[in-house]
Amino acid sequence: MLGSVLKKFLLILVVVVVYQNWGKIERLMDPTQVVSEQIQLKANVVLYSTQWCGYCKLTRRFLDQRGIPYKDFDIEKDAVARKDYEALGGGGIPIIDVNGTLIRGYDPDAIMAALK
């Protein structure tokens, strides 16, 4: 009986870990989506987001899939990030600062253009 409960617990734990890291797992499975190392090295990406925002999740997933490093600031949990977000004009999430170019909303094409 204990073995059965332990197996179920481990299965649930594995599912949760896979779900939380799906973007990174996809990148490993499809290396054609990874951007060049040169772009990765010069990438300065800051994401102002929340945990519940669907477009924020899509943005994180997009960046993770391509191996683009970024700093993610939750504007609901971090007062300094909230002030920075408001200084950028606020008005919606996500706001992505890519090498000094502001992108409002989920826009993969704009992110890639700003990285080049």
Q: What is the pLDDT of residues 19-66, one digit of tens each?
A: 887 777 776 666 555 566 666 667 899 999 999 999 999 999 999 988
- Average pLDDT along the chain: 87
Give the three-state DSSP class for 35: coil
- Whole-structure pTM value: 0.69
Res 106 pLDDT > 70: yes
- Token couple for 43: 């990438």
What span, in angstroms and rounded, lies between the C-alpha atoms of 110 and 104?
A: 10
Domains and CATH numbers, the chain: 2-115 (3.40.30.10)
What pLDDT band is residue 9 in, cutting at 50, 70 and 90? confident
Tell me the torsion sign for CA atoms 85, 91, 55, 33: negative
What span, in angstroms and rounded, lies between the C-alpha atoms of 20 and 25?
A: 10
